[in-house]
Amino acid sequence: MKHLSLLIFLLVSLTSCLQRDQTLQDLEFGGQGIGNNNLNNGVSSVDSFEKTLYVITSDKCVGCHTAQYPQHANSDVKKAHDQLTSGGFVDLENPADSLIVSFVGLSNHNCWSGSCAADAAEIQAAIQKWADELAANNIDNTNNNTNCDEPMIMVNDPVLSFQNTLHGLVTNRCATCHSDMSPKFANSEVQVAYDVLIGAGDVIANLDNPEDSRLVKRLREDQHNCWTFDCEESAVEMENAITQWANLNADKIPNPACN
């Protein structure tokens, strides 16, 4: 009886050891292991992104896109990676179709070399290199992110939309003072003027309710530097420009990453 009890104890101990070894093997080499999502040969999609596209975005886009969506220049590499992949801004199967490429190449958004086409080609090449490395390491980046940050994404570049609507009016009518005087919403540099307006929230230009914009009220209520005999006409023109900008920003499509 004593020997039988000892035998049972040894069998239970051996089984426990085998189960523990299998669990450790699963954690280290696959199965349902922790931290094994899209990882092969010690390389992940985030690693590939950091060595390719992030080299560009962390240098050329850091002025706005460390905190402004999409945060593809954020100092947290994984966050920058996830913002692009979950937001539908990169197409790893067809890099040329990436929104981040068209924003620069077609919308001329914040080009840095003097040639938007060259800058777009540099971004596309980086995305292609990223995709090639994923393929070489058998990493499937499909649905890499479970979080869908933006179910709808803009069709139009918001800065270009501002340039084509309100910016032309304010640089024509308000630049004498507000090109260099705060708030610099009439600065000749589109990005500078855009950042001033966006940074003020909905105070200076209210895209949800254009009639409540400070730009409109200063004309309509305070008769501040109206350019027409009737300040109401100037206020209506300003309100219409803000409305046109808001309408372009409101033009959105479903985010393919959220399907």
Annotated domain spans of the chain: 40-150, 159-250
Whose tokens are 């937001």? That residue is 87
Whose tokens are 């001033």? That residue is 196
- CA dist., res. 58 & res. 63, Å (int): 9
- Residue 153's DSSP bridge partners are 253
The pTM of the full predicted model, rounded to 2 decimals, is 0.50
Please report, in tens digits, the pLDDT of each residue of the chain (259 residues total).
544 444 444 444 444 444 444 433 333 323 322 223 344 455 689 999 999 999 999 999 987 887 777 889 989 999 899 888 876 789 999 999 888 998 898 878 889 998 999 999 999 999 999 999 998 887 765 544 444 566 676 667 788 889 999 999 999 999 999 999 999 999 999 888 998 998 888 899 999 999 999 999 999 999 999 999 999 999 999 999 999 999 988 877 666 555 5
Q: What does the DSSP 8-state code read for residue 153?
A: E
pLDDT of residue 218: 96
Instruction: Indicate the residue type of 1.
Output: M
pLDDT of residue 214: 96
User: How is residue 56 written in tokens?
Assistant: 């560009």
Maximum pairwise Cα distance, the chain: 111
pLDDT of residue 96: 92
List CB contacts of 52: < 8 A, sequence separation 6 or more: 126, 127, 129, 130, 133
